[in-house]
Amino acid sequence: MDYIAQFLSMLTLVFAIASVIAGIFTAYFGSGKSRVVGGILIVIGFLVFIIFLYGAGLLTGFLGAPEGFLNFQGTIIQGIIAIVGGIVGALIALGIFLLAIMKA
């Protein structure tokens, strides 16, 4: 169950962040219907972020304690550390790659 909770917690967090960022870019750079789609993406991102906050136990005063597969209170720190470690590793690899390409 711990693996499912960690998977769902990181899925909701990253989906919310990516949806809001994509919505901001679409609403800003788009025109016409694209701006509406960008606004919808922003709203969806915020709704998923509220689900994440509920699962993290940060909205217990409003919605009560999370139960079942949405209870990922103990997995969030581990998941965020794993994501940050992966991003740092990718940036280091990208930096070495760009340095090698520029020196060649």
DSSP 43-55: HHHHHHHHHHHHH
Inform me whether the pLDDT recorded for 83 exceeds 70.
Answer: yes
Residue-level pLDDT at 16: 92
H/E/C letters for each residue in 25-40? HHHHHCCCHHHHHHHH
Q: Which residues touch 32 (CB under 8 Å, ≥6 apart)?
A: none
Of 10-24, 54-68, 75-89, minimum mean pLDDT range:
54-68
More confident position, 99 or 67? 99
Taking only the tens place, the pLDDT of each residue in 9-52 is 888 888 999 999 999 998 988 888 888 999 999 999 999 999 88
